[in-house]
Amino acid sequence: GASPSCQALRAFRSMLAQELALWGKFLSMNLKGLESQAELATLFRRGDFISPHTGQKAGRVLGFLLFLTKHWREAWGGGLWWLGARPAEQFLPQFNVLHLFAPSDDSLHLVSPVTIDAEPCLVISGWFLHE
């Protein structure tokens, strides 16, 4: 059978998919579902980062990032930086914090490099699609 971590990710995907009407309220639209294999569990370790991007792709209307790391420190890097149409703003990884955004030219963001050998920073991310 699948590993417990894969089973947990599938259960999370199922929970998200069952609540499409709720997630669609953030955009005042009906959602079709989640992008195929959209949810991704990422462990950020020393040196890991994500380059600037907007997340734009045909059909994507709502992105999410769920941070699942406790006691993360700013000095360790790994911050989520929003660079879009406003002054850059950093959001540190915080346990059980969900970030939602509509991919657009203004949704430019990145994850800064992790600078220390600490517990990895766990993030689950993915995309909802328009109906």
Q: Tell me: the pLDDT tens digits for 37-82?
A: 656 888 999 999 999 999 998 888 888 899 999 999 999 999 999 9
Neighbours of 28 (CB within 10 A): 6
pLDDT of residue 17: 81
| Longest CA pairwise span in the chain (Å) | 47
**What is the pLDDT confidence band of residue 4, given thresholds at 50, 70 and 90?**
low
pLDDT of residue 5: 63
3-class secondary-structure state, position 20:
helix
User: Percent of the chain, pLDDT > 90?
Assistant: 38
d(C-alpha 52, C-alpha 58), whole Å = 18
